Structure 1
Amino acid sequence: MSDPSSPPVSPPISLHREAVLAWLETQVSPQRLAHILGVEATAKALAPLHGLDPEAAATAGLLHDLAKFFPPARLLAIAQAEGIPLDPVLEQVPHLLHAEISAVVARQEFHVHDPVILNAIRHHTLGCPGMAPLSCLIFVADAIEPQRGDDPALLALRRASRKNLYKAVRKTCDLVFEHLLAHHKTIHPRLIETRNWALQWEKYGEK
């Protein structure tokens, strides 16, 4: 089994946060913007606990849902233009592409080129086996930011997120599965693969 760790994130990019916020205000609902800011703050707070750059984490958190409200046809069109592979589940549920497309928008609209940050945006919905620690962090922060609530399962997940990123990824997948199964929703195979990968690495991530 190979070590999923990645090279250190490059120095923080020059990102005009106010310009991003102004763009988001025209593209997402106030409730979604509150969620995005919650992910930004959560990621920035967690990053030092895992030896990650807080500014890179905040940047990925701020940009993670740029395409959240893009209509299905637009998501599919951008995916095809960018050569993003489509499978039957993504074609059936194009909304799952919003993470991939948010990375495209971050690159095109805000000139983000750091591959570690772009991958963290890209992987925040379905994850990816072997994903870098920053991707794990954003995947988890998306699930635990304050707007998500304070039920016992979330509180347990927040505790895990401070000690073991891989355990937190696995527990995040488990919570997502519960929600999808309860609502008779399709589960993308990559989320299952991400869960199984994180389970294997859990024992190495304890702090």
Structure 2
Amino acid sequence: MRELPKALQTEGTSPQVDKSIALSRLLPPPDRSRARVLFWLKGQVPETRIRHILRVEQFAIELAQRHHLDREKAAQAALMHDLAKFFKPKRLLSMAIAEGLEIDPIEEMNPHLLHADAGAIVARDEFGVTDSEVLNAIRHHTLGSPEMSLLGCVVYLADGLEPGRGATPELEELRDLSRQDLIQATWRVADASLRHLIQAGHLIHPRTVQTRNAFLQRFKQTVVKDPIAKIQLVKGIQT
């Protein structure tokens, strides 16, 4: 999970989003694998984190449904996105090394950034997930990726925009945008994250910048063919 700008965050949840993603209406039928993941999570993360995970799962299902993507894959990736959220830094580093991942200086200084990669490893080794799209969606939910699939965008956006993040006008605008255009919403959320990191004086991982630029470029490619998209692009850059 990445932190959005504090200006976008408020206490509480968004009633509009809560209403639109009623769990009973959107969740796939119960299955043992989901129950097993939840049971495992209860021994690994606090209750507040489980509530966040469930909200991400709900919003991911809604976005997948709206964009005609695989709801079950979206639900699975969202449910597992924070499997390694509370792993200790040494454990995250050792898992990354054992997996043969290249650890850059920023990740070495802030191993918590590796929790997404570690979560994908746990999903594969502990829960037998073999679907590469699901594993990549878990892997990319924090920093994003220039090559992120639409399913990856769904989990990335659901994590950053789930209703527990607050109900500011900008957050509500980004939620509405995510329901309409995954590509534009992805660069806008990455852009907001970058602004926060700069204002807070934090280190910025290159992949966050690459994600923002890649999806902005993909969106710009649609502007030539769509005058409405051009207006949205100008509006997004000015905010």
Alignment of 1:26-105 (within 5 A): 26-105=43-122
Instruction: Specify the alignment match of 2:150 in structure 1.
Output: 133
Amino acid in the other structure paired with 1:25 = K
| Equivalent position of 2:14 in the other structure | none
1:114-151 deviations in Å (ceiling 9; x for gaps): 00000000000111112111011111110111111111
Displacement of 1:179 in angstroms is 2.3
Identical-pair percentage: 50
Cα offset for 1:29?
1.2
Aligned to 1:181: 198
Answer with 1 or 2: which has the greater Rg: 2
Deviations along 1:10-53, one digit per CA (max 9) or x if unpaired, are xxxx8611111111011111111111001100000110221201
Deviations 1:53-85 (A, max 9, x none): 111100000000000000111000000000111
Q: TM-score, normalised by structure 1?
A: 0.90
Match of 2:207 in 1: 190
Q: CA deviation at 1:182?
A: 2.8
Q: Within 2, Cα distance between the matches of 1:173 and 1:198?
A: 9
Query: Which residue, 139, 149, 160 being the options, matches 1:143?
Result: 160
Q: Which of 24, 44, 50 pairs up with 2:41?
A: 24
Q: Secondary structure at the residue paired with 2:43?
A: helix
- Give the CA RMSD over aligned residues: 1.4
Map 1:142-161 → 2, pairs under 5 A: 142-161=159-178
How many Å separate the matches in 2 of 1:191 and 1:54?
Answer: 26
Q: Is the 8 A contact 1:164 1:202 kept in 2?
A: no
Q: For 2:121 and 2:104, how far apart are their aligned partners in 1?
A: 19
Q: In structure 2, give the amino acid aligned to 1:32.
A: R
One-letter amino acid matched to 2:100: G
Shift of 1:156: 1.0
C-alpha distance in structure 1 between counterparts of 2:71 and 2:91, whole Å: 32
Tell me the matched-pair count: 193
Amino acid at match of 2:75: A
In structure 2, the partner of 1:5 is none
Structure 1 runs (4+) deviating above 3 angstroms are 203-206
SS of the aligned residue for 2:146 comes to coil
Amino acid of the structure 2 residue aligned with 1:134:
L
Q: Residues 109 and 195 (structure 1 numbering): CA distance in 2 closer, same or farther, change over 3 Å?
A: same
- Distance 1:152-1:22 versus aligned 2 partners, 3 A rule: same
Question: Which residue of the partner structure matches residue 19 of structure 2?
Answer: none
Q: 1: distance between equivalents of 2:219 and 2:177?
A: 11
Opposite residue 90 of structure 1, the aligned amino acid is E
| Preserved contact between residue 15 and residue 110 of structure 1 (Cα < 8 Å) | no
Q: Give the Cα–Cα distance (whole angstroms) in 2 for the partners of residues 96 and 152 of structure 1.
A: 28
* Long gaps (5+) in structure 1: 1-13
Match of 2:184 in 1: 167
